[in-house]
Chains A and B, each alone.
Chain A
Amino acid sequence: MASAGGSLPRYIVQRVLLIVPMVLILVTIVFLLLRVAPGDPVSASVGGRLSEAAQAERRAALGLDRPLYVQYFEYLGDVATLQFGETISDNRPILDIVKENGGATLTLAVAAFLIALAIGLPLGAIAGRFRDSAGDVVIRIFGVITYAAPVFYWGLLFQLLFAGTLGWLPSSGAATPVTIFEVETKTHILLIDAIIAGDSDAVVDVLEHLILPAFTLGLLLSGIFIRLVRVNMLQTLQGDYIEAARARGIGELRVLRAHAYRNALVPLVTVIGLQVALLMSGAVLTEATFNWPGLGNELIEYINQRDYAAVQGIITLFAVVVVLVSIAIDIITALIDPRVRY
């Protein structure tokens, strides 16, 4: 860990080097957990159909009968060379899964994050400014509920209301099958591909499908942002410089916006890094609820199939993303806040 007075570049190098042991620990845990859990890819797919001998033959063909340490080191070798191999259950290259489904997860995560910011920042600021008012209480309750309620609960409610009862929005998927078929794949991010294609109907279709899942996941994060912004607003509003600004006759609105609110957001940047993990885990549940064709949806499918290779590959990717974002946030925090020293 960096010490006070150290240089930022040195700190960055240290953090980057820390990725290696972090990922190593994580893939080891995932590897072991999957093996400890009952069943394997063979019993998951043909258990209840084939004899034990026939299943053993299939295990041997897949190399699952080899000693665990052999499988482990082989897997580590694959990770080290970024060759994650193929899934066991449907022979898809892991990197293809990441490429083909990662765009959907990214789309959902970014949209949800924007919605969380759009809800959380203003509500948190209002709650902080009008502390202990009725509005503050309502916003705080809203924040607690959205954070505490499972993401699939909101998802199902929204599906029933907006897709079922009202019929305003589609219930699931990333777009209608026709849109998916007709929009040429270029970036593997359907929304961008639709924009590139200049197909306004497709863009609208994709956005309509995005609203419910993004809002569902965004709500989860918004609860956290509301609480954080509110607390930081309360702290900054008690600062001497706020009093000084008011004493200089600066208008209340400007004091709030330019002095209190901006400073209240600085700690939020740090916390955002921590929320990436929550965003990813929330994305898994949201994708499953809305049949969203992202990595989370694939992960659940492969867990059910006990597909070791696929689960290890996808979780490793998630871990690397979380670690990289955390480091990026640390660096950004250091750059925007001169008080931070390494």
Chain B
Amino acid sequence: MVRRRLLALASAGVMAVSLAACGSDDGGGGDENGGGSDLGASWILGTTDSVTSLDPAGAYDLGSWTLMYNMYQTLLTIPAGENTPQGDAAESCDYDDPQTFTCTLRDGLTFANGNELTSSDVKFSIERNVNIEDPNGASGLLASVDSIDTPDDTTVTFNLNKPDTTFQFVLTTNAAAIVDEDTFPADALVDNAEAVGSGPFSMDQYKAGEQAVLTANTEYDGPKEAQSERVFVQYYQQPAQLKQAVENGEVQVAWRSLSPTDINDLKNSDSVEVVEGEGSEIRYWVWQLANQTAKEKATRQAVAQLIDREAIAENAYDGTVDPLLSIVPPGFPGQVDAFADKYGEPNVEAAEKLLADAGVQTPVNLTLGYTPSHYGPNAVDEASELQRQLEDSGLFKVSLKSAEWEQYQNLYKEGAYDLFQLGWFPDFLDADNYLSPFVVDGGFYQNNYSSQQANQLVEEEQATAEAGAREEVLGELQQLVAEDVPLIPSWVGKNVAVAGPGVNGVEETLDPAFIFRLWTVSYDG
């Protein structure tokens, strides 16, 4: 059932979160006997991701969250191929006002251990995460929660400490995964062996750094019905090992993080298929505005005018990434190609004019920083390609500098580079997650960009409930970034997996959410 309610509220209009309670009411995961006899054969997913914890309060990394998305339910979820939250454990959720969010749970939910899942478990899960505040956890995502009310077993009301239209997206993340209050301690992380959820799979075995074994949860009630009885997740340290394993048929699916070279190589293989979906991981170049060179807006704009993203994607990444024309990748509501709108195609004359109008002497000396130890060997190629583009214009003289990731983080803050490369992977699928961390008060990377207008626009989009009005503000904010150029977007990666013969449903899960939905995949054996 789908419910959309437009709330008539005074100022903000209303944000109605439309939720689809897609699952059947009869407990979709399997039959009563727990046999799951009509489920597909077991299969193996290989990955280079690592796992920090199976406790939602103890992890904030993709490796852990991949398992959690399959083990736990959240109130809301992002269905494959979509970008708006819909119901998982919740039958419906709505903003009562921009600071109050109410969800109604499905009836009869249970955890894999048979315990009942009620609104009390939801409240416990969120409050527990906030209270534990584990250094490896994601409690920071729940910062806007002021209090939680549970008037009955199926109703949860979140009272927020500020208008927060992104909260519905936070509820799709594992920061808000629902745990069993009878099993999980309130003030400490649970042992991995005891982690239990109500998701489409339950954890049968977890050997840190080696493998996880998930079995279809017959108690699961929701839209994520498992297609396979059992899934093995095997962990690799090196992408080369993973490539060889999938080529040899030792794993049926390889997902994250094969290099562009490996991917292109595997595209020529007869034994596997490379499946690509839209991604949300981005790379961008940040100006350190404390540096004299970067302080000059015309210099920043001139580089934005010169950068040839198509050439970077092709020459540095063998075409395995797409040019990024705004700091927000395509597909997000409110996204506009702000840098394309502002600068159009790469143009040396236009860049020269920008510099000349501002009285900037050319060639401008520029130091570019990058770190292959964190972003891989292709970061070198990208930096070299950008250097070539800028120097070919005759307007810049570029020196490249690289450092090991740990050192790099200090160096870019200290101003060792005028322009430095960083990457980003969203916490949740909302354009705000690509804007507020970067433009408010110099961003997390401390590049000394300060714009009252940017701060106000962020506040406004976070508080605007009406979708159209919010998208307009988001667009305005992206145009401001293109004008001020505190950073230059470079590319957005694809969500790539490699599948062996007999595997179905992989393409379905490869979307910008970067959730590997094990439940969508089946294997013919």
Which residues of A are found within 8 Å of B361, using beta-carbon distances? none
Taking the closest CB of chain A, its distance from the CB of B510, in whole angstroms, is: 23
Minimum CB distance partner of B233 in chain A: A177
Decide: A50 and B444 in contact? CB cutoff 8 A: yes
When the two chains form the complex, which single residue of B53, B405, B423 contacts A39, counting CB atoms closer than 8 Å? B405
Taking the closest CB of chain B, its distance from the CB of A309, in whole angstroms, is: 13
Taking the closest CB of chain A, its distance from the CB of B353, in whole angstroms, is: 35
When the two chains form the complex, which single residue of B50, B136, B205, B409 contacts A91, counting CB atoms closer than 8 Å? B136
Decide: B446 and A51 in contact? CB cutoff 8 A: yes
Which residues of A are found within 8 Å of B490, using beta-carbon distances? none
The verdict on B407 contacting chain A, using a C-beta distance below 8 Å, is: yes
The verdict on B210 contacting chain A, using a C-beta distance below 8 Å, is: yes
Which residues of A are found within 8 Å of B437, using beta-carbon distances? 49
Decide: A62 and B208 in contact? CB cutoff 8 A: no
The size class of the interface chain A forms with chain B is 35 or more
Chain A residues 18-33 with CB under 8 Å of chain B are: none
Of A106-114, A159-167, A195-203, A331-339, the one contacting chain B is A159-167
Minimum CB distance partner of A170 in chain B: B250
The verdict on A263 contacting chain B, using a C-beta distance below 8 Å, is: no
Decide: B208 and A90 in contact? CB cutoff 8 A: yes
The verdict on A275 contacting chain B, using a C-beta distance below 8 Å, is: no
Decide: A164 and B248 in contact? CB cutoff 8 A: yes
The verdict on A46 contacting chain B, using a C-beta distance below 8 Å, is: yes
Which residues of B are found within 8 Å of A54, using beta-carbon distances? 140, 444
Using known A-B contacts A52-B446, A171-B241, determine if residue A293 contacts B409 with beta carbons closer than 8 Å: no
Chain A residues 49-82 with CB under 8 Å of chain B are: 49-52, 54, 58, 61-62
Q: By CB atoms of chain A within 10 A, which of B44, B241, B437 has the most? A: B241
Decide: B248 and A44 in contact? CB cutoff 8 A: no
Decide: A90 and B135 in contact? CB cutoff 8 A: no
Decide: B135 and A58 in contact? CB cutoff 8 A: yes
The answer for the CA separation of A301 and B235 in the assembled complex, in Å, is 12
Minimum CB distance partner of A287 in chain B: B237
The answer for the CA separation of A91 and B236 in the assembled complex, in Å, is 20
When the two chains form the complex, which single residue of B207, B213, B409 contacts A43, counting CB atoms closer than 8 Å? B409
The answer for the CA separation of A47 and B424 in the assembled complex, in Å, is 11
Decide: B205 and A163 in contact? CB cutoff 8 A: no
The verdict on A146 contacting chain B, using a C-beta distance below 8 Å, is: no
The verdict on A172 contacting chain B, using a C-beta distance below 8 Å, is: yes
When the two chains form the complex, which single residue of B205, B241, B405 contacts A291, counting CB atoms closer than 8 Å? B241
Decide: A177 and B406 in contact? CB cutoff 8 A: no
The verdict on A288 contacting chain B, using a C-beta distance below 8 Å, is: yes
The answer for the CA separation of A164 and B250 in the assembled complex, in Å, is 11
The verdict on B234 contacting chain A, using a C-beta distance below 8 Å, is: yes
The verdict on B60 contacting chain A, using a C-beta distance below 8 Å, is: yes
The verdict on B209 contacting chain A, using a C-beta distance below 8 Å, is: yes
Decide: A178 and B42 in contact? CB cutoff 8 A: yes
The answer for the CA separation of A177 and B234 in the assembled complex, in Å, is 7
The verdict on A324 contacting chain B, using a C-beta distance below 8 Å, is: no
When the two chains form the complex, which single residue of B44, B60, B208, B424 contacts A92, counting CB atoms closer than 8 Å? B208
The answer for the CA separation of A50 and B204 in the assembled complex, in Å, is 34
The answer for the CA separation of A44 and B357 in the assembled complex, in Å, is 43
Using known A-B contacts A50-B444, A91-B53, determine if residue A291 contacts B406 with beta carbons closer than 8 Å: no
Chain A residues 285-323 with CB under 8 Å of chain B are: 288, 290-291, 293, 297-298, 300-301, 306
The answer for the CA separation of A92 and B135 in the assembled complex, in Å, is 14
Minimum CB distance partner of B204 in chain A: A181
The size class of the interface chain B forms with chain A is 35 or more
The answer for the CA separation of A164 and B244 in the assembled complex, in Å, is 7
Decide: A89 and B136 in contact? CB cutoff 8 A: yes
B interface footprint on A268-294 (CB within 8 Å = 1, 0 otherwise): 000000000000000000001011010
The verdict on B410 contacting chain A, using a C-beta distance below 8 Å, is: yes
When the two chains form the complex, which single residue of A44, A49, A92, A170 contacts B406, counting CB atoms closer than 8 Å? A44
The answer for the CA separation of A222 and B446 in the assembled complex, in Å, is 54
When the two chains form the complex, which single residue of B237, B247, B422, B444 contacts A301, counting CB atoms closer than 8 Å? B237
The verdict on B374 contacting chain A, using a C-beta distance below 8 Å, is: yes
The answer for the CA separation of A318 and B248 in the assembled complex, in Å, is 34
Taking the closest CB of chain A, its distance from the CB of B98, in whole angstroms, is: 25
The verdict on A38 contacting chain B, using a C-beta distance below 8 Å, is: yes
Decide: A167 and B248 in contact? CB cutoff 8 A: yes
Decide: A38 and B60 in contact? CB cutoff 8 A: no
Decide: B407 and A297 in contact? CB cutoff 8 A: no
When the two chains form the complex, which single residue of B52, B210, B405 contacts A293, counting CB atoms closer than 8 Å? B210
When the two chains form the complex, which single residue of B189, B209, B247 contacts A297, counting CB atoms closer than 8 Å? B209
Decide: A297 and B208 in contact? CB cutoff 8 A: no
Taking the closest CB of chain B, its distance from the CB of A180, in whole angstroms, is: 6
Which residues of B are found within 8 Å of A46, using beta-carbon distances? 60
Minimum CB distance partner of A172 in chain B: B241
Which residues of A are found within 8 Å of B52, using beta-carbon distances? 45, 89-91
Which residues of B are found within 8 Å of A291, using beta-carbon distances? 236-238, 241
Which residues of A are found within 8 Å of B209, using beta-carbon distances? 101, 293, 297-298, 301
Minimum CB distance partner of A46 in chain B: B60
A interface footprint on B129-153 (CB within 8 Å = 1, 0 otherwise): 0000111100010000000000000
Chain B residues 216-249 with CB under 8 Å of chain A are: 232, 234, 236-238, 241, 244-245, 247-248
The verdict on A100 contacting chain B, using a C-beta distance below 8 Å, is: yes
The verdict on B211 contacting chain A, using a C-beta distance below 8 Å, is: yes
Chain B residues 1-57 with CB under 8 Å of chain A are: 42, 44, 50-53
Which residues of A are found within 8 Å of B205, using beta-carbon distances? 180-181
Using known A-B contacts A38-B404, A42-B135, A62-B135, determine if residue A177 contacts B211 with beta carbons closer than 8 Å: yes
Decide: B407 and A173 in contact? CB cutoff 8 A: no
Decide: B236 and A45 in contact? CB cutoff 8 A: no
Decide: A51 and B189 in contact? CB cutoff 8 A: no
Which residues of A are found within 8 Å of B369, using beta-carbon distances? none
Which residues of B are found within 8 Å of A48, using beta-carbon distances? 374, 405, 409, 422-423, 445
Chain B residues 237-283 with CB under 8 Å of chain A are: 237-238, 241, 244-245, 247-248, 250
Decide: B136 and A178 in contact? CB cutoff 8 A: no
The verdict on B295 contacting chain A, using a C-beta distance below 8 Å, is: no
The answer for the CA separation of A318 and B50 in the assembled complex, in Å, is 24
Taking the closest CB of chain B, its distance from the CB of A342, in whole angstroms, is: 44
The verdict on A37 contacting chain B, using a C-beta distance below 8 Å, is: yes
The answer for the CA separation of A90 and B60 in the assembled complex, in Å, is 11
Which residues of B are found within 8 Å of A39, using beta-carbon distances? 405-407, 409
Which residues of A are found within 8 Å of B405, using beta-carbon distances? 39, 44, 47-48
The verdict on B466 contacting chain A, using a C-beta distance below 8 Å, is: no
Which residues of A are found within 8 Å of B53, using beta-carbon distances? 90-91
Which residues of B are found within 8 Å of A50, using beta-carbon distances? 140, 444
Taking the closest CB of chain A, its distance from the CB of B282, in whole angstroms, is: 12
The answer for the CA separation of A167 and B247 in the assembled complex, in Å, is 10
Q: By CB atoms of chain B within 10 A, which of A47, A167, A170 has the most? A: A47
The answer for the CA separation of A90 and B404 in the assembled complex, in Å, is 23
The answer for the CA separation of A48 and B375 in the assembled complex, in Å, is 11
Chain B residues 416-460 with CB under 8 Å of chain A are: 422-424, 437, 444-446
Decide: B444 and A306 in contact? CB cutoff 8 A: no
Decide: A159 and B244 in contact? CB cutoff 8 A: yes
Which residues of B are found within 8 Å of A97, using beta-carbon distances? 208
Which residues of B are found within 8 Å of A91, using beta-carbon distances? 52-53, 58, 136, 189
Q: A90-B51, A164-B244 are in contact. List 7 more A-B contacts (CB 8 A).
A: A39-B409, A40-B406, A89-B52, A101-B209, A164-B247, A172-B244, A300-B237
15 pairs of residues in contact across A and B, judged by CB atoms under 8 Å: A37-B406, A46-B60, A47-B406, A48-B409, A49-B437, A52-B413, A91-B58, A163-B244, A164-B248, A171-B250, A173-B234, A178-B42, A178-B232, A181-B232, A301-B209
Nearest 9 A/B pairs, CB to CB: A39-B406, A177-B232, A38-B406, A38-B407, A58-B135, A51-B444, A293-B210, A171-B244, A61-B135
